[in-house]
C-alpha cells in the first residue's frame, strides 16, 4: 500500500487543507490496484497541520476499509514532502501548540495500525506524480476552507480518530 500525503495553507496560518493519494494493492474480485484521492478543508490553520492531518486521513481510510472486510497487506508506505511530519512521527520531535494533540493521536494510530507503516520524506514540487496529485488535493482542501467549507470539529475528530 502506498500513500502520498500533503498539506496546504493559503497564508500560514490561513485557509488550510490536507490531501492524500492512496493506492491499494488489490481491490475486489479483479485483484487489481485501486487508487483514491482524499481531500479535506481544515478551516484556518497552518501548512504543517495540513501535512499531519493528511496522514490521519490515510490511517482513517485504511481502518474503514479493514472494517469493511478489505484484506490489508502487511506493510504500507506513506510518502511526504514534509520534514516536519518526519521529525514529529519518525524522529521523535516534540510538537507544540495545536499540533501536539494531533501528533500524539497519529503516533497512537500508527502504533495500533494493522499495517506496519514506513514514513518516507520525498522532495516536494519535484515532478513526482503522486506527490503532485496529493498537493493538488491539499490545495483543493485549502480552497474549500477559504470558501467556508472546511471541517469545523477538528478536536472531536482527533479524539474519535476520524480525519475524513
121: domain CATH number is 3.30.420.10
| Residue 132 included in any domain | yes
CA distances from 68 to 10, 65, 76, 134 (A): 36, 5, 18, 25
| Residue 159 included in any domain | no
The answer to whether the bond into 13 is cis (omega within 30° of 0) is yes
Lookup: cell for 91: 524522529
pLDDT digits (tens, 9 = 90+) for 90-132: 999 999 999 999 999 999 999 999 899 999 999 998 999 999 9
Question: Are the C-beta atoms of residues 37 and 19 closer than 8 Å to each other?
Answer: yes
Which residue range(s) make up the domain with 82?
2-153
Vertex 85: Cα angle to 97 and 126 (nearest 5): 135
| Residue 102 included in any domain | yes
| Residue 162 included in any domain | no
| Residue 160 included in any domain | no
- For the chain, the domain total comes to 1
Q: Could you tell me which of 124, 14, 24 has the C-alpha nearest to residue 70?
A: 24
The pLDDT value recorded for residue 105 is 97
Residue linked to cell 510518502: 79
| Residue 161 included in any domain | no
pLDDT digits (tens, 9 = 90+) for 7-60: 999 999 999 999 999 998 876 666 678 899 999 999 999 999 999 999 999 999
Amino acid at each position: 500500500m502506498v500513500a502520498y500525503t500533503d498539506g496546504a495553507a493559503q497564508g500560514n496560518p490561513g485557509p488550510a487543507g490536507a490531501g492524500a493519494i492512496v493506492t491499494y494493492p488489490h481491490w475486489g474480485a479483479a485483484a487489481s490496484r485501486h487508487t483514491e484521492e482524499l481531500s479535506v478543508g481544515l478551516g484556518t490553520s497552518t501548512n504543517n497541520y495540513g501535512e499531519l492531518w493528511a496522514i490521519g486521513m490515510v490511517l482513517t481510510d485504511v481502518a474503514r476499509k479493514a472494517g469493511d472486510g478489505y484484506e490489508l497487506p502487511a506493510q504500507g508506505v506513506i510518502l511526504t514532502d514534509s520534514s516536519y511530519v518526519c521529525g514529529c512521527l519518525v524522529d521523535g520531535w516534540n510538537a507544540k501548540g495545536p499540533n501536539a494533540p494531533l501528533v500524539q493521536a497519529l503516533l497512537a494510530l500508527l502504533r495500533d495500525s494493522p499495517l506496519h507503516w514506513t514514513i518516507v520524506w520525498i522532495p516536494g514540487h519535484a515532478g513526482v506524480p503522486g506527490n503532485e496529485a496529493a498537493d493538488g488535493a491539499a490545495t483543493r482542501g485549502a480552497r474549500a476552507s477559504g470558501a467556508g467549507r472546511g471541517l469545523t470539529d477538528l478536536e472531536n475528530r482527533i479524539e474519535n480518530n476520524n480525519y475524513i
